[in-house]
Amino acid sequence: MKKIVLVTGRSGSGKTSTLQVLEDLGYYTIDNLPISLVPGIVAKLDQDNAMELLALGVDIRSLQNDQISIDEVLDELQHYGVFEVIYLTSREDVLLARYASSRRPHPLATKYDSLTECIRVEEQLLYPIYRRATLTIDTSNKNVHDLRHTLSVKLGQGDKLVVILQSFGFKHGLPLDTDYVFDLRHLINPHWISELRAYSGLDIPVQEFLAADDMVNDMYEDIEQFLQKWLPVFSQGHRQFITISFGCTGGQHRSVYFVDRLAKALQAKWSVQVLHREMKHWS
């Protein structure tokens, strides 16, 4: 088997949508499978050479009801080709809003008094699989199209390390699906220049404005040197991707500029993917 993906995470974070996207990407998907049955099914499919891409969805109910530990299952699955664990999460306020909108009960609703308690207990129960996740995706600000793009970027790279550079705005929330975050809010802000406000960090007027500032260049050079030094080390650690996020206030100028400039500097040595999380908010 070429690749196995196990999809799990906090209820309401988009497991069903993720499996649908994976199916569109060519994966054979099985949802709500008891975790104890996973190793046997994977072994059978591998023996029969039935498929190359397999995605399995499990939720808190199957993880809680089975006696077998998740660590045992994950250890066994590592023997079959490339193995990924996708953990989906969202901010608590987003999950509360989604359940209020759908009016569907939480999987733990029969055991706890409030939805907030269900969400928090579930997060604790899922910690053993969260710490084994190879890919964490925060769906708080993602629609299905954003999710499709994220999965296509992060699952389509093969065995080579992919450097994902992401810009975001702090006013829209800190990204949960990242390895490193650099805060750029202390740098000079093009937003306060009326002639530059409508542009983004991809536009030449903003780039020229920021490139003329000594503090901007000093921080950029420090970050680039850090990445040039440590990316080879991360790659040797058998990582398939690393996500590095850059945040400014709105996610339109400074963070976008840094991502664009770093992408050009790193692409000669690394496979680089760029995500501008707040593009839909740009004026």
Residues annotated as binding site for GTP? Answer: 59-62
Chain centre distance of CA 17: 14
Edge-first strand listing for the sheet containing 135-138: 28-30, 53-57, 3-9, 82-89, 135-138
Strand, coil or helix: 40: helix
Locate 179 and state its tokens: 């390895």
Residues annotated as binding site? Answer: 9-16, 59-62
Q: What is the DSSP code string of 180-228?
A: EEEE-TTS--GGGSTTTTT--TTSHHHHHHHHT-HHHHHHHHHHHHHHH
Residues annotated as binding site for ATP? Answer: 9-16
CB 87 within 8 A of CB 130: yes
Strand, coil or helix: 52: coil
CB 255 within 8 A of CB 169: yes
For residue 102, which amino acid is it?
A: S
Largest CA distance in the chain: 64
**N-to-C CA span, the chain:** 46
